[in-house]
Amino acid sequence: MSIHKESVKRVTTHVLSEMKLKGEKISMLTSYDYSMATIVDRAGIDVILVGDSASNVMAGHETTLPITLDQMIYHGASVVRAVQRALVVVDLPFGTYQGNSKEALNSSIRIMKEASADAVKLEGGSEVLESVNRILSAGIPVMGHLGLTPQSIHKFGTYAVRAKEEEEAKKLLEDAKLLEEAGCFAIVLEKVPATLAKKVAESVTIPIIGIGAGNGVDGQVLVIHDMLGITQEFSPRFLRRYHNLFAEIKGAVETYIGDVKSKDFPNEREQY
């Protein structure tokens, strides 16, 4: 039987591993606020990621680096209040887990306590293993994130496809295995060649959720503002736009402005 919408009341990390076993693809989208998360959850999404992409699409920053732990908790708590079915994963923001596993644990505990999230996500492999282990030892589910890791943009210098060269591809595969062995329940794999992504998905037993990683992985994730066409200037090859919400909302706002100016709004029925 499919694990889709009708048969699962609440998506857990265990449900996700069953989905991988059964070959059922996992759907994941970002959300950052109550209203959007309500729509996304009622549509039947499996996982909602409260991504640090909130730094870009909600706050207008160029990178994901400026967003703070308090801000991620605010977004996470808003999403959790809306959700009835999806698993909610909240990103650990830049500077709250790298290089200090005690801080990583404290940051994760704050996310679990104050946002009531189901899990945390962090970027990196062997470099953050100590932090991953310490968070997991407190019973907090961890999702990894390999390939293009936007928090390291200043190290990479570009948002281009990662792991095209053999050495980087080898390290990525090793990192995926390290994260699996440590006990991560899934890994996001961003912007890597599809053949490599497929190989990674076949080499580990935990679900690999791709973004710009082709169709050979166990699920897909997109930033909701990108797939709905709210953002306009971001157009990587992997992005499929399901709507042009920018144009729709702009059109509605223009009509409203016109109605106000022409005194058409409010009419007799729209007043007391």
Residues interacting with ligand KIV, by CB under 6 A? 30, 49, 51-53, 91, 145, 188, 190, 211, 221, 223
Which 8-state DSSP code applies to residue 133?
H
- Answer yes or no: 248 catalytic: no
E strands, the chain, are 26-30, 47-50, 87-91, 119-121, 142-147, 186-190, 208-211, 219-222
In this complex, which beta carbon is closest to ligand KIV, that of residue 55 or of residue 101? 55
In this complex, which beta carbon is closest to ligand KIV, that of residue 9 or of residue 240? 240
* Nearest residue relative to ligand KIV (C-beta): 51
Give the pairing of strands 87-91 and 47-50: parallel
User: Are the beta carbons of 116 and 87 closer than 8 angstroms?
Assistant: no
Active-site annotation holder among 180, 190, 202, 248 = 190
CB of 223 to ligand KIV, least distance (A): 5
In this complex, which beta carbon is closest to ligand KIV, that of residue 65 or of residue 178? 65
In this complex, which beta carbon is closest to ligand KIV, that of residue 70 or of residue 269? 70
> In degrees, to the nearest 5, what angle opens at C-alpha 204 toward C-alphas 203 and 206?
155
Question: CA 77 to CA 68: how far, in whole Å?
Answer: 14
CB of 207 to ligand KIV, least distance (A): 13
Question: CA 132 to CA 7: how far, in whole Å?
Answer: 32
Residue type at 162 in one-letter notation: R
CB of 123 to ligand KIV, least distance (A): 8
CB of 51 to ligand KIV, least distance (A): 2
- Which residues carry out catalysis? 190
